[in-house]
Structure formats: C-alpha cells, structure tokens
Structure 1
C-alpha cells in the first residue's frame, strides 16, 4: 500500500497534515486503546451490577437477562455493517461517533429510573459499540506497517485483557461502595478522554478504491440472519434445543445466510465480497476465532459459577482469582505480537491452541475441594494459550483483507467471537443441563435424601446447573450440608464433561491454525508515517 493508494486528512493546500500528532501510529494505538478499553470494561463490569439493578429497579429475572441480551444482540447483528460504514465513510468518523454515543448512552443509563429505559439504552450501547470496535482495527490496519502490525494488535489485545480483568473488581467495588449507576457513569469521563484524544490524533485513511455505495438488501439479509442465529442460541437453553421456536430461529438463520450468500454474488457493491473467503488463511482465521471463543467463553461461563457458588467467593474475590488468566493474556499478548512478527502466525497459533487444550483438560479435573493454587495454575496456562490466538487470528483476518475492506474484516473478527461465544455458552450449557438432569436423581437417592416430585426435581436441577445447592427453608444443618455436597459434586461432574468438550473443540482449532499465515495485504503504512 503506497502513499497514493489512500485518501488521508490533509490541509487545504494539499500539503501534509497540520498537526504533527495526527496519524502517528503509536498515538493512534493509544487513542483506539482508550475506546476499546471502555467497551471491554463494560462487558464484565455490568454483570456485577445486575443483582443491584434487579433489586433497585424491581426488575424480573427476564428483565435482567435482557440488559445483557439486548446489548449482545445489537452488537452481534450490526458489527459487519458497522465495519462497512467505516470502509465507506472513514474509520476515524465511525470510531469517534461510536465513542461519543457509547459514553452518552452510559450516562443516560445511570440517570434511568426504570428497567425498560435501561434495556433500550443498552441496545443503543451495543449499536455504538459495534461502530467503534471494527473501526479500531481498521485504523490500526491502515496506520501500522506490516512489521509493526502484530505488535500493535498485541498491545491492543493486552488492553482488552486488562480491562476485562478489571471489570469484576472495579464493578464490585463501585456497587459495594457507591451504587449500580456508577458502573455506567465511569464510561463518561473515559469516553470524553478518548473523544478528545481521537479528535487530535486520529487520521482518516481510506483506500482510493473504497466502496462508494451501500448494499441495503445485503445488510437486511445478514442482520436478519445474525439476529436469528444469536437469538436462537440465547433462547435454546430455556426453550430446549428441540423446541419449535428454537428450530424456527436456527433454520431461519441458515436460510437467511444462504439467501445473503446468493445475493452477494449478484450485488454490484456487496456488503461482504465472497471472494474474500478465497483466502484460505482468512477463512481459517475466522473459523479459528469461532472455535477459540466457543471453548474460552463457553468454559469461562461455568468458572464464575464454580468460584462463586461452589467455593463461595464474592464477585470481587472471583475476579482476583481470575487474574492469573487475564494477567497472562495481558503479558502474553504483546509478546505474542513480537513472536508472530518474527516467525509468522502459524507456530504461535498452533502452540496457543494446544496450550488451551491442555488447560481445558486440566480444568476438567477440578473438584469442589480443589485449592486455589491448582485452579490458578490452569487459569494461567489458559491465558498463556489464548494470548497468541487473540493476537494472531485477528492479524490473520484483518491482514489478509484488502485495505478497502479493513472495516468489514474487523467486523468479521468481532462477529466470529460473538457467534463462537454464544454458541459455546449455549451448547456447553445444554451439556451441563443434560448431565445434571441425568446424575442428580441418582446422587440424591444415593445420599438417602427425601424423594422429590417432578416439579421439585426440575427446580433443583436448574439450581444445581449453576452450582447452587437447593436447600429448602428450615432444613437442619446436617441435611443442608448433605444437599450442598450432592449439588456441588453433581455440578462439578457436569463441568467436567463441558470442559472435556471445550478441550476437544480447542484441539480441532489447533488443526485449523495450521492453515493460517501472515497477512498477504499487510503492507507498509500509508503516508510514510514514522514508527
């Protein structure tokens, strides 16, 4: 990519930009990192506040679930379209709009007095989050030369890891010592800093052959397909995988994806040119991201229940126990970026997924009595395995896409994570539920506990599936200990099977990683920027 191949911000006389800060690669990285930090922090900090929101706004469990699901749906459905917006109108503009909108909606949520308003604003948060995330990758892709792009993405990944790790701890402290509104208010000053810094530093750089129009039918078809898929996966645990509603949404997703693919071959300006997937490394990187997110997010879903409901840790203490995982991701991501720059992505990606496989196998051996030292060891190994995958797969996807599709590639990377995470949580959740349904009656009877009715057993199975002991009121201490033991051992048995499946998926991902290679289009940064 040469200087002539881009359209950059320039002074009116066509000379170089007025500000020496504008377009500087490392300052660009710092700017987008602040924005991405805000979104990554929000992803985990809100979960800690949900119980307080439920209590103060008198919300139902379904309402609280919608606070999360509304955000995830809006994010997943619009990521690729948002990336296309950046390719069309400029990643600087979409990033700054995303930052401003995310901060504004966060402040409005804190001022809300009803759960309906919170849910609606969380949907808008997801839309603005979708704008800024692909734009961040698009800006890095356009600003950094090939030999520095992996390092930049490594630091970007470390910021995400640090923010994700800090979320439960900061959220717990804010809810405990202030109020639930504070977990949203914190985004306002962070967003303001990111916006001001972005206005001073970011430079809009678009390919000369950037898209000139919007594929409206493609947007409608892809958005509808993503909605059906994510909604079906979200509702499958509650409705059941064989339920007509679940099947309708999942089959609808397949039909809509097929219709989208057909339309894209006919569109003059396709939303996603299907020729993009002729790149074997890009396709492998996308599949790898889905499989990694399946194993990681699906498995991590149970870890929080294990720490809080089996071991009895508070949310803050649980966050501290997860620090070895996120800490290794923070340290490992920049190192992974340097290793990938030197050796290429294939060896680090295969090695990372093999480490992840071993960590998942180790975590499948956890028991209710496993000490913190052993648990933290497996968490650290998991973080060490995930770091090169987060960095390498992102670079493979974005780096193998042409510059004019950098936003779409960034949206594709984020969408792959959302789909993989939703799929992993839904599938492993179904495995856990089936395992608990199968084992609980036998374990209950073996402990000589009083027989339960069908309704009581269904209620008990739901509680045990998240590690909660279904101890009835006025139960004697001895009986309560017995029920707790049965519940925890049954839950851990289900977790063992779930982590075993996650390990198998991670092993498949290691094979997929063999087909990755360095980005073919990750050429020099435009404008001769100094690194």
Structure 2
C-alpha cells in the first residue's frame, strides 16, 4: 500500500469510527445527564433514541445523494456536520436542545457511515477489497463495542460533555486528511434524477418502523400507537416497492435483489446486528445489576469482545479474498450459536475469567462473520452500486441493532415480573420460618420486599437495617440481655438479607437466560441463512466484483 492510500483510508476510518462510536458511548452517561437536567430516564432516553432514529432514517438517502453529487463532498459535509453538532451537544444546558443536536448528529452519522465503504473501496485495487472490508469491519465492531469503555473513562474523570468533545480532534484530523488525500468518486446515478417520491416513501417506512421498535416496550406492542405506526410502515413499503418497479430512476433498483446471495447476505447481516447488540445490551445489565461491577469495570470487561472482534475481522479479510465468505462466516456464526447457548448456564456469581472467556468467544464469532458477510454483499451488489449497497446493508444492520434491543427488553419485561413475585414468595417463607427473628423484625423485612426491583436490591438495606438495630442498642449496655438479643436479631437479619439477595439474583438469572436462549436461536437462524449468502469457492478470483448485478 502507498502512503497516500493509507492516509486516505485513515480518513474514512476516523469518520465512520466516531460516528459508530456515538451509537453506544452515550448510554453510560445517561445517569449523569438525569442529574444535570433534573429529568427522568424516559425523557433522557431520547438522547440515544433521537440519534438512532435519525441515523436509521437517512442512511440510504445519504448514500444515494453521495453517489450522484460526489462521495468526497458529501462525506466531508457529514464529518463537519457531525463535529459541529457534537460541540453543540457538549455545550447544551437544556435537555430539549441536547436532543435536537443529537438528531442532527445522527444525520451526520447517516451521511458518514454508508459513504465510507464505497470511498474506501475506491482507494484500493479490486484484489485488495476483501482485506479492506475486513479492516473496515474490525474498526466498525471496535467502535460499537468500545463505546461503554471510553464513555466510562470520560464520564468518570472529565464529565459527560466530553463524550461529545472527543469527536472534535478526530473530526478535525479526518477533515484535513479527506481534503488532502481523498479523490472524488461517483456512483451509477450521477447523471439521473433523484427519486424524490421514493425517498419520501422509504423515509416514512423506515421512520415509522424504527420509532415503533424503539417505543414498543414503553407503549405496549398491542397499543393503538404501535399498531398505527407499524401499519403506516407496512403500507409505505408496499407502495414503495410497487412504485420502484415502475419508475425509470428508482431509489433502489430492485433487480439487485434477484441475486439470492445478495438478498440472503443482507438477511444474515441484519441478524448479526440483532445478535451483537443483544449481547452488548444484556451483558451491560448483567455485569452492573447482577454481578455488581461498576460501570467502568463492566465497560472494560466488555472491551474484550471488541478486541477479539477487531482482531478476527482483520484476519478474516485475506481468507475471504481467496476463498469467499461462506465457510468462515459459517464458522463464526457456529461459534456464536454455541457460545450463546453456554451463556444460558451463567450465574450471577460466575467467575470473571469465565465471563471474559465467553465474551472473547463472542468476539471471535462476530469477527469471523461480520466482515465476511459484508464483503459478500458488496461483491454481489456490483461495482456500479457500491454506495447503494453500503446504504442498504447499513440500514439492515442498524435495524438489527434496534430489533435486538427491543427483543431483549421485551423478554426481560415479560419474565422479570414473574421472577420478582416468585422471589418474594420464597424470601417471605424463609423469613417467616426463621425462629430466631422476632415478629417486628420479620414484618419490617417482609414489608421491605414490596419495593424490590433490579435497581433496588435488598442488599442495599444492609446499612439501614444495621443502623436501626444500633439505634435501639444504644439504650442498653453491652452486658444487658436486651442488647444481646438485639445482636442476635442483627446477625439473623443480615443473614436473611444475604439470602434474599441471592434468591432474587438467582431468579433474575432465569430472565437473563431466556435472553441468551433467544440470542442462541437467532444465531442458529443466521447460521442457516449464511449458507445462502455466498457460494463455495475453490480458488482465488472465482468470483470478482461485477459491473452489474450477479445472477447467482
């Protein structure tokens, strides 16, 4: 590789890295934002939702505009828009303005991410593209998975504003490199009109679907609002598809989906998005709420998945270039299927080494399937449709991310209430059968169970319980019988609190196991679809990038 190629490629990496980083880095700062703006979790969640919604809506539109008016110009505009909105996010003193600037930031990200792939592929020759997509996939996964780590460090030592300010030096460096080293390139639709009506219909489809997925668990999946949104989404996509078949200059030339490898590759990529984000989301809760680690420590543990993904995505590139993606993506998804099944046997007190080993295995699996499947999609989509193919694949993966979180939250919501009630019955029975406790202590402890949830574990009552006993003990001498009796109550009470905490956590693990089982089932489905996302190749160059769609 020439130095100019490396610097040009670095510009694209810096751009999409910071854009994907911001899909996860903000989550860890939400508690601090609640305090800063004196608000609640429902309102502050739109700091994340606003970004994801805007990002999903404009991905495909941005890639088509870049193909027509110039990828370098549009990419540069996206970086500048992203950096400026990042600064405004950090300076925000009102939650509504912060949400607004996050929506704008999401628009910048929607421009940067899909355009980065065709730009990167134009820098290098065709025989290097498998390797380049492998590297792209490595940094893509690293950006998404390392958000909690970097966010935890910045919030812990500098403040939540710096999760936005960190984009400034990255953006400035990317801007300089883009201006100097990137060459302008265009797609197949340079000289044709944009499909405005198709764009509006697709935007209506993706926006109503995304909003429904984000708010489904809050409103209820059978609520009138969600049903209306899903209906609008369904009607919009039907009209869109009918129209795209008839117009001369469609937003999405549907003929590219005639290649079954391209179509199934996108299905597989969507499922990988579901799997990866479900794992990251559920493990963040598992490590902080059940295991009891700090946010920073949990982020560092999750980084092992990111590092493994990065390494194996990069290693997969040359293999895919020679042999295709079929075998290696199958191996990756097989590892994910087995690993997620093993996760169903995790306990709240599982050894940290065991947890890290499972996360590394997940990272290996993701690394071996994410970039290879993306490579197959790009190859099957054809040279003339690089921008469009990038947009379609990123829309699918983004929707997969949102669906993954929606599924995880839905399973937890359905099963958690049952586990709480079961735990209360078990703990109440255990307390009532403790003959060493007097009736007043028993009643107080049983009453304390009513407010128990995942964020308010009974172990937090330790200090309050001890203080209440000590306050009464202060009226007696240590040699008094009453003092000794209270000491027994204290010891037995702490034992009951410890038992209650373990009971709740053990039962909560059942809910988490259901999520891991769902991830396993989705991994198996992805394993099957991956078999149809590429053909088995025996020698290098068996299939090469084509100027038009491959017919499979």
Per the normalisation by structure 2, the TM-score is 0.85
Work out the CA distance in 1 between the residues paired with 2:374 and 2:443.
52
**Which residue of 260, 268, 271 maps to 2:251?**
271
Q: Distance in 1 between matches of 2:223 and 2:145?
A: 36
Q: State the alpha-carbon separation in 2 of the partners of residues 211 and 447 from structure 1.
A: 71
- The residue aligned with 2:524 is 507
Question: Is the CA contact (8 Å cut-off) linking 1:66 and 1:119 kept in structure 2?
Answer: yes
Please report how far the alpha carbon of residue 448 of structure 1 lies from its aligned counterpart in structure 2 after TM superposition.
1.6
The whole-number CA distance in structure 2 between the counterparts of 1:209 and 1:77 is: 21
Displacement after TM superposition at 1:479 (Å)? 4.8
- What's 1:522 paired with? 545
The 10-residue stretch of structure 1 (48-57 or 118-127) with the greater mean CA deviation from structure 2? 48-57
Contact 2:264 / 2:532 at 8 angstroms: preserved in 1? yes
Verify: 1:469 aligned to 2:449, yes or no.
no
Are 1:29 and 1:156, in contact at CA under 8 Å, matched by a contact in 2?
no
Q: Which whole-Å CA distance do the structure 2 matches of 1:265 and 1:208 have between them?
A: 18
User: Are 2:205 and 1:225 equivalent residues in the alignment?
Assistant: yes
Task: State how far apart, in whole Å, the 2-side matches of 1:325 and 1:480 are.
Answer: 34
Once the two structures are superposed, residues 335-375 of structure 1 have per-residue CA deviations (whole angstroms, 9 ceiling, x without a partner) of 01111112111001111110110111111111011011111
**1:440 Cα deviation from its structure 2 partner:** 2.5
* CA distance in structure 2 between the partners assigned to 1:520 and 1:65 by the alignment: 45
Establish whether residue 107 from structure 1 lines up as the match of residue 95 from structure 2.
no
**Alignment-derived partner of residue 129 in structure 1:** 109
1:80 maps to 2:60: yes
Match of 1:262 in 2: 242
| 1:529 corresponds to | none
Q: Secondary structure at the match of 2:45?
A: helix
Aligned mates of 1:172, 1:425 — CA distance in 2: 20
Which residue is 1:215 aligned to? 195
Aligned match of 1:89:
69
1:130-187 deviation digits (Å, cap 9, x = unpaired): 0011110111233333321111111122223333444323222222222211111111
Shift of 1:218: 0.8
Map of 1:492 onto structure 2: 509
Counterpart Cα distance in 2 of 1:403 and 1:25: 20
Give the TM-score normalised by the residue count of structure 1: 0.88
| Residue 59 of structure 1: how far off its partner (Å) | 2.5
Match of 2:279 among 265, 277, 299: 299
Partner of 2:23: 43
Q: Is the 8 A contact 2:25 2:148 kept in 1?
A: yes
SS of residue in 2 equivalent to 1:384? helix
* More divergent stretch after superposition (165-174 vs 233-242): 165-174
2:238 partner SS: helix
Q: Mark the CA change 1:97 to 1:381 in structure 2 (over 3 Å): closer, same or farther.
A: same
Gaps spanning 5+ residues in structure 2: where? Answer: 430-441, 466-492, 536-541, 548-552
Q: Is the 8 A contact 2:146 2:306 kept in 1?
A: no
318-327 or 395-404, which moves further after superposition?
Answer: 395-404
Tell me the distance in 1 between the aligned counterparts of 2:419 and 2:178: 55
- Post-superposition CA distance 1:256-286 (Å, at most 9, x none): 1111111111222111111111111111111
Residue 373 of structure 1 is matched in structure 2 by: 353
Give the aligned length: 497
**Who is 2:423 aligned against?**
443
Instruction: Give the conservation status (yes or no) of the 8 Å contact 1:87–1:404.
Output: no
Distance, in Å, in 1 between the alignment partners of 2:328 and 2:193 is 39
Q: Name the CA distance, whole Å, in 2 between partners of 1:360 and 1:73.
A: 28
Label 1:111 to 1:297 Cα distance change in 2 as closer, same or farther (>3 A): same
Q: Judging changes above 3 Å, is the alpha-carbon distance between structure 1 residues 188 and 214 closer, same or farther for their aligned structure 2 residues?
A: same
| TM-superposition CA deviations, 1:52-102 (whole Å, max 9, x none) | 122112232222110000000000011011111111112111111111110
Write the mapping of 1:4-19 to structure 2, written as runs, cut at 5 A: none
- 1:242–1:207 distance in 2 versus 1, CA, 3 Å: closer
Aligned to 2:14: 34
Partner Cα distance (1:77, 1:154) in 2: 26
Report the equivalent of 1:119: 99
Residue 457 of structure 1 deviates from its aligned partner by 9.4
Distance in 1 separating the partners of 2:93 and 2:39: 11
Q: Gaps spanning 5+ residues in structure 1: where? A: 1-19, 525-531
Shift of 1:376: 0.9
> 1:238–1:407: structure 2 CA closer, same or farther, 3 Å change rule?
same
Alignment check: 8 A CA contact 1:468 1:488 kept: no
Q: Where does residue 312 of structure 2 map in the other structure? A: 332
Q: SS of the residue aligned with 1:378?
A: helix
**Quick one: distance in 2 between partners of 1:469 and 1:459?**
9
- Equivalent positions of 1:125-524 (< 5 A) are 125-207=105-187, 210=190, 212-448=192-428, 460=452, 463-464=453-454, 469=457, 474=464, 477-517=494-534, 522=545
Inter-CA distance 488–35: structure 2 relative to 1 (3 Å threshold): same
After superposition, the Cα gap between the structure-2 partners of 1:471 and 1:375, relative to the gap in structure 1 and judged at 3 Å, is: closer
Larger Rg: 2
- Over the residues paired in the alignment, what is the CA RMSD in angstroms? 2.4
Residue 346 of structure 2 aligns to a residue whose secondary structure is: coil
Q: Distance in 2 between matches of 1:521 and 1:195?
A: 32
